[in-house]
Amino acid sequence: MPTGVHLRDVRKQLFHAAERVLLRDGPDALTSRAVTTEADVAKGVLHRHFADFDDFLAELVRDRIARLADQSALLRAAAGTRTVAENLVAALAELFDPVSVALTSLVFFRDGLRTRLRQEGDGLPLLTEAREMLTGYLSAEREQGRIAADAEVNSLALSLIGAAHLLYAGRRRGTLPPDSEVKKTVDTIMADPLQRRLL
């Protein structure tokens, strides 16, 4: 088997195992032993592919960030379709799926991981990319005249990310906020730029 294929398979297996541990037991239970046990591989396998456990965790977060690029492209392409609120509710539900919420908690929980990831840019990993995704989408909607021409899209994106993070992360593990609660939050934040587009 080619080494590159083998490496991707092992990485994927370890990443999926880490996500299962995170969802089931929380960030404080995530150790190299827990991951390799969950993946049903020898402990040395993880250390053959990653410099240390923080390197593994950083790659796990980077893998999730890479997926946001596809989500961002799809959301931007959705500009002009459905309503702005419907697009935002759907985007926030996808952004704050249980794995992403758990990974955000993990970044908060582990100082070494947060420091390592912050060397690559400002802000909190995952949430920073999520804000950029919503900023791009809201900019596209502003260009189409579906929100006010002077709408401060970066501030709106920050408000949406912050409020949604509280809604999703503040719940018992394994539960999600009702769509109606997310929609009410989106409607409140977006009320002014949506109303003023008609003036």
SS3 breakdown of the chain: % helix, strand, coil, rounded to 5?
75, 0, 25
* Number of structural domains the chain divides into: 2
| Statement to judge: residues 45 and 64 lie in one domain | no
Judgement on whether residues 115 and 44 belong to the same structural domain of the protein: no
Structure tokens at 144: 């189409």
- The torsion angle over the Cα atoms of residues 3, 43, 36 and 125, rounded to 10 degrees, is -80
Residues 77 and 158 occupy one common structural domain: yes
Task: Output the CA–CA distances (angstroms, integers) from residue 178 to 78, 156, 164, 171, 185, in the order listed.
Answer: 23, 22, 12, 11, 11
Domain boundaries, position 22: 1-49
Shared domain for 23 and 65, answered yes or no, is no
Q: Are residues 108 and 148 in the same domain?
A: yes
Same domain membership, residue 71 and residue 127? yes
Q: Are residues 8 and 88 in the same domain?
A: no
Q: 100 and 44 in one domain?
A: no
Lowest-confidence range among 2-11, 13-22, 38-47, 170-179?
Answer: 2-11
Place of tokens 């947060």: 114
- Give the span between the Cα atoms of 94 and 176, in whole angstroms: 12
Whether residue 147 sits in one domain with residue 109: yes
By C-alpha distance, which of 100, 103, 181, 105 is closest to 133?
Answer: 100
Structure tokens at 148: 């006010």
pTM summary value: 0.85
Task: Please indicate, yes or no, whether residues 117 and 80 belong to a single structural domain of this protein.
Answer: yes
Q: pLDDT of 110-159, one tens digit each?
A: 888 888 887 766 677 888 899 999 999 999 999 999 999 999 999 999 99
Tell me the H-state helices in 26-121.
Answer: 32-39, 43-49, 53-77, 84-95, 98-109, 111-118
CATH of the domain at 152: 1.10.357
